[in-house]
Amino acid sequence: MASIHTRGLVKKYGSLTVLHGLDLEIPDHELVVLVGPSGCGKSTLLRVLAGLEAIDEGDLFIGEDRVNDIPAAKRDIAMVFQDYALYPHMTVRQNMAFALEMRGMARGEIKERVEKAAALLAIEPYLDRRPKALSGGQRQRVAMGRAIVRNPRVFLFDEPLSNLDARLRTQVRAEIKTLSQQLRTTMVFVTHDQVEAMTMADRIVVMKSGVIQQVGSPEDVYETPANLFVAGFIGSPSMNFFPASVENDGLKLADGRTVAVGDRVQAAATAHRGKPLILGVRPEHFRVAPDAAGALSVEITLVEPLGSDTLIHFKVGDAEAIARVEPDLRPKVGDVIALAPSPEKAHLFEEKSGALIC
Amino acid sequence: MSHTVASNRWTGALNIFLLVLAGVVSLTPMAWMVLSSFKASFEVTAYPPTVIFSPTLENYATLWERTPFLHYAFNSMVVTVSSTALGIILGAPAAFVASWTRVTWPAVLTLAARMAPGTLFLLPWYIMFRQFDMIGSYWALILTHAVITMPIVIWVLLPFFDNIPRSIYEAAQVDGCSPLRIFFRIGLPLVAGGLAVSSILAFVFSWNFFLFALVLSNSDTKTLIAASFNFIGEGSTNWGALMAAATLIALPPLVLAIVVQRWLISGLTLGAVKG
């Protein structure tokens, strides 16, 4: 078990810089999720941590050790790959025992560890099968078992749920989280799925174009996103963004209408008078208003009933927007409805830099 | 629907016709060779050729009496097995590294060496081996035949290694394997089919290679294929004995190919196609 610490980490492929001087602190025992869109550098960062990619600049510490020049084989980390990367010519038992054999562990202890990990993951019946005789979910467990038996300092997961169907993904997601609580080992998990990130992480690292945008707990990044990118990436459906300017009694939107946003946002907006601003409201932070005063009177263009709640689509100027409402409202396409942003939950961003104002 | 069925039938018939044609073209010389080896001397070159004749073992007896056939066979076996083994020992790691690093120019270079006419190497090799007093030694033949076997091994194994997902190698790295261990514990077992295919092909090519054995061997180390040249004289050629020798020479690769033909074909297609 160990913490991970990067300082000014740079990774380049030829002239292309993929990681731009990352400073990141991952404390011991934490489950940290690296999340971001394709090409943001999250998998590259994981591979750098694993020792599968060389570091061009900066430092990487695992525990107290600077591991820049230490090969993957000697970093004492375990990794679960996206395609599981099980050895096809070995049985499940041999797959799980392989890393221990490489370390010269006694046979008795190997047997004991493999059986203990197999029991933990409920894969005992498959120990003498080859990977090709297993389902996707079983292979996924074996890949985790192969990592667990080693009792490594750090676990790395590279999008291990992406090949599973939706039901199994939810199940395995919960299992990994339970496992992290049982094993109390530092885990770094890569995903492009923000739901996975939110549900599993102790802390989330949001990345874009090789730069860390925000590090925080799931609640932090959801409630206080550092910028427009994080605000748009975290949350499903995404936060709605409305270009706005300051008026005395609220914010004036692009279509000329004024919306009341409460004292907190209004004060912040007034402090930025004259600058182009973006009002950000999550779909679940609209409330249905009794009348149109200070609210947005909108025409519903699409209704998506989800059972527990209903998503309604509408337009403000040219901007498409979504609100989450109670299913009992039974909205219909073409209905006109008054929606008001929750004053406590609405956000304001600088349009130019994208930075959060409040 | 009926159009498709008719079309399939025609395609099937065409396939069978082409297979029969290919079979006839490739098997006729072999049948001729085998039949001729059982004919009396005057019948071997008779025109028109006789198909119905009284078989005789006269040519095989001549072969046995006039040449140390078993000794030559032993020489062939030593040179072929050793050069095949050397080709695998050098070629398998080379293919693994070329696949791992994705640097294939050295492999292309070995292929170029293989494609160059053998006569190109003969003179420098002759001078070099004479310098080391190795002319007529098994080692001269084994080393030169490795130039034939190694490129075969490399080029057959390359697609097999390429087909192994990179993440498997990376998993082995993370599991604590050195590159050498990855080669022996992960790479080699996963290309076992390719190893069998390349061994057989290398064996056949080395067994049948004539030129180097003709120049670099002596009477003690002469291989079967070079020794069979003795039956071609300046004035006359003992075709019957030559055909008997050729039949016996063709036997080991033929038996080998028949025994492993399923593996050979599936191995070749696997290495080439599987993504």
CATH number at residue B65: 1.10.3720.10
pLDDT computed for residue A238 by the predictor = 95
**Using CB atoms and an 8 Å cut-off, which of residues 100-139 of chain B contact chain A?**
none
**Cβ proximity of A204 and A198 under 8 Å:** yes
Q: Do A73 and B175 touch (CB under 8 A)?
A: yes
Chain B hits for A81, CB-CB cut-off 8 Å, are: 167, 170-171
User: Domain segments of chain A: what residues?
Assistant: 4-233, 240-350
Of B168, B176, B186, the CB nearest to A73: B176
Q: Do B175 and A51 touch (CB under 8 A)?
A: no
Interface test with A, best of B168, B175, B183 (most A CBs within 10 A): B175
Buried b (16+ CB within 10 A) or exposed e, B254-270: eebeeeeeeebeebbeb
Confidence of residue B110 (pLDDT cuts 50, 70, 90): confident
What's the pLDDT tens digit per position in B224-273? Answer: 888 887 777 666 778 888 899 999 999 888 888 788 777 666 655 544 33
Higher-pLDDT residue of B9, A240: A240
Q: For residue B182, is it within any domain?
A: yes
Chain A hits for B189, CB-CB cut-off 8 Å, are: 89
Residue B167 near chain A (CB below 8 Å): yes
pLDDT computed for residue B2 by the predictor = 60
Domain count, chain B: 1
Could you tell me which chain B residue has the CA closest to the CA of A150?
Answer: B175
Q: Do A88 and B190 touch (CB under 8 A)?
A: yes
Chain A hits for B179, CB-CB cut-off 8 Å, are: none
Q: Do B165 and A85 touch (CB under 8 A)?
A: yes
pLDDT computed for residue B193 by the predictor = 85
What's the pLDDT tens digit per position in A87-130? Answer: 999 999 999 999 999 999 999 999 999 999 999 889 999 999 99
Write the burial class of residue B13 (CB in 10 Å: 0-12 exposed, 13-18 middle, 19+ buried): exposed
Q: Do B181 and A102 touch (CB under 8 A)?
A: yes
Quick one: which of B237, B255, B234 has its CA closest to B62? B237
**Cβ proximity of B95 and B164 under 8 Å:** no
**Cβ proximity of B141 and B213 under 8 Å:** yes
Q: Do A52 and B190 touch (CB under 8 A)?
A: no
Residue A195 has pLDDT above 70, yes or no: yes
Residue B175 near chain A (CB below 8 Å): yes
The CATH architecture assigned to A240-350 reads: Beta Barrel (2.40)
d(CA A72, nearest CA chain B) in Å:
5
Could you tell me which chain B residue has the CA closest to the CA of A85?
Answer: B168
The CATH architecture assigned to A4-233 reads: 3-Layer(aba) Sandwich (3.40)
Place of tokens 């919306």: A259
Q: Do B165 and A77 touch (CB under 8 A)?
A: no
Confidence of residue B67 (pLDDT cuts 50, 70, 90): confident
What letter represents residue B243's amino acid? M
Q: For residue B205, is it within any domain?
A: yes
d(CA B23, nearest CA chain A) in Å:
37
Q: How many CA atoms lie within 13 A of A85 on its CB side?
A: 24
A332 sits in the region (left: phi over 0; alpha: psi -120 to 50; else beta) called: beta
What's the pLDDT tens digit per position in B11-39? Answer: 999 999 999 999 999 899 889 899 999 99
Quick one: which of B221, B247, B204, B207 has its CA closest to B71? B221
Confidence of residue A206 (pLDDT cuts 50, 70, 90): very high
Residues A86, A81: Cα–Cα separation, whole Å: 9
Higher-pLDDT residue of B158, B265: B158
Of A50, A73, A85, the CB nearest to B178: A73
Query: What range does the domain containing B105 cover?
Result: 60-273
pLDDT computed for residue A216 by the predictor = 97
